[in-house]
């Protein structure tokens, strides 16, 4: 049985509710009569003592703006050394979640821990381990790139010498003495990445890291994330560019309308949605007989043909049966390609409602 104190978004009156993990309850404020829904955190993500393998833990996060839920009972954990992708349509609650993780906003309910340190109670201590790249990267325009980084280095107690190396890492060595006010959007984004990794933080939070970057910059970000992971850092990436997430993330969380609708590896989510790989084969002699033979194979969901190509959607175990059926029908396979379900398909399925 869990007991939670929930603050009314209209009048801030506290209401105490009790319930079982995962249970949904409806609350009516005793003061103003406002009504709302609350889901008790599941046992999986419920309160636990500090686990050194967990870098980031969000539990029962709730935030309202003007009486509507921006984030409703979001819970997830990011193990140390993982690259976690945080996806969602515009306005789903991605940035609100990130701001709550960094204690930039006041939350209505929930608990957030970075390396086991409560962000709300010991924000200063928790933020020692964090590097942050905001969605809207901004600097002090009157200062040069180097002066800006040195200011943040001073605040983070990081070495000022590191700044020059970082500027070179993000390709800004030639612009280090230029005022940031004269920088392009891409240059500011690169400088933002340098600021985020300043002082080698253990947990990195990137909100739309490839925003405004050219192709070279996108590759740089991808490589940077992989380098950070290699060095043991945990990276939390929020992006709407699904290919970017798919390229670098170990696991993803999908948020829709303020609710975390899924949290797993892409393969795991595909399995949950029963999404199957797509097999494309080029045949020397594609005929109706072959197509009929493939359609008759158990476990085949979709068969499409185009010129000499046949496209089949089936699970991995059925692949062999399909090839055997083609061979039996007299087909000769010239080329064979398997495409696993994409993150885009997973994302669309989870957010279509």
Partner 1 sequence: MKAQVMFSIAKKEILDNIRNKWIIILSIIFALLTIVVSYFGSLFSQGWQDLGLTIAGMLSLVEFLIPIIALMLGYAAIIGEIERGSMSSLLALPTLRLEVVVGKFIGLACVLTVTICVGFGVAGVIIAAMVTEVNYVEYLVFIVATLLLGLVFLSLALFFSTVFKKRSTAMGGAVLLWFVFNMILPIIMSGLLVSIVGLENLVKGDMSMVPSWYYGVQLINPISVYAGIISTVIEPASMMSQGEIPVTYPDFYTPPFLFSLLVLWIVVCLALAYWRFSRKDI
Residue ranges that bind partner 1, judged by CB under 8 A: 99, 102-106, 123-125, 127-128, 130, 132, 134, 136-140, 142-143, 151-152, 154-157, 192, 195, 205
Q: DSSP secondary-structure letter at 127?
A: G
- Kindly give the pairing relationship between strand 309-314 and strand 278-283: antiparallel
The three-class DSSP label of residue 261 is strand
Distance CA 77, CA 58 (A): 6
Beta carbon nearer to partner 1, 73 or 144: 144
Least distance to partner 1, CB of residue 129, Å:
9
Distance from C-alpha of 103 to C-alpha of 108, rounded to nearest angstrom: 12
* Closest to 204 (Cα-Cα) out of 269, 249, 145: 249
d(CA 40, CA 314): 38
Q: How far is the CB of 212 from partner 1 (least distance, A)?
A: 13
CB of 107 to partner 1, least distance (A): 10
**Listing from the earlier edge strand, what are the strands of the sheet with 117-118?**
68-79, 54-65, 109-114, 117-118
Q: Using the minimum distance from each CB to partner 1, give the nearer residue, 66 or 306.
A: 66
The CB-of-36 to partner 1 minimum distance in angstroms stands at: 19
228 or 314: CB nearest partner 1? 228
Residue 138 or 215: the one with the smaller Cβ distance to partner 1 is 138
**Cβ at position 154, least distance to partner 1 in Å:** 5
Do the Cβ atoms of 202 and 234 come closer than 8 Å? Answer: yes
CB closer to partner 1, 150 vs 246: 150
């Amino acid at each position: 049985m869990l007991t939670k104190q929930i603050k009314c978004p209209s009048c801030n009156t506290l209401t105490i509710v009790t319930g079982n993990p995962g249970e949904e309850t409806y609350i009516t404020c005793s003061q103003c009569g406002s009504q709302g829904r609350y889901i008790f955190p599941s046992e999986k993500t419920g309160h636990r003592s500090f686990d050194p393998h967990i870098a980031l833990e969000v539990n029962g996060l709730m935030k309202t703006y003007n009486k509507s839920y921006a984030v409703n009972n979001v819970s997830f954990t990011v193990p140390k050394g993982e690259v976690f992708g945080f996806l969602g349509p515009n306005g789903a609650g991605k940035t609100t979640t990130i701001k709550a993780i960094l204690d930039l906003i006041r939350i209505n309910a929930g608990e957030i821990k970075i390396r086991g340190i409560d962000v709300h109670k010991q924000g200063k201590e928790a933020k020692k381990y964090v590097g942050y790249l905001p969605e809207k990267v901004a600097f002090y325009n009157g200062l040069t790139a180097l002066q800006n980084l040195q200011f943040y280095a001073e605040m983070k107690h990081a070495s000022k010498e590191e700044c020059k190396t970082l500027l070179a890492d993000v390709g800004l060595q030639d612009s280090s003495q230029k005022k940031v006010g004269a920088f392009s959007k891409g240059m500011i984004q690169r400088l933002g990445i340098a600021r985020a990794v300043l002082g080698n933080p253990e947990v990195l939070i990137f909100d739309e890291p490839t925003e405004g970057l050219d192709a070279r910059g996108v590759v740089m970000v991808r490589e940077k994330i992989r380098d950070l992971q290699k060095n043991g850092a945990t990276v939390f990436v929020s992006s709407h560019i699904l290919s970017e997430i798919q390229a670098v993330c170990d696991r993803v969380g999908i948020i829709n309308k303020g609710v975390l609708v899924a949290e797993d590896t892409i393969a795991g989510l595909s399995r949950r949605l029963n999404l199957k790989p797509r097999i494309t084969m080029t045949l020397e002699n594609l005929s109706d007989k072959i197509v009929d033979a493939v359609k008759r194979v158990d476990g085949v969901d979709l068969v499409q043909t185009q010129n000499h190509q046949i496209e089949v959607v089936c699970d991995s175990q059925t692949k062999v049966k399909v090839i055997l059926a083609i061979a039996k029908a007299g087909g000769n396979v010239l080329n064979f390609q398997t495409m696993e379900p994409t993150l885009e398909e997973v994302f669309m399925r989870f957010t279509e409602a």
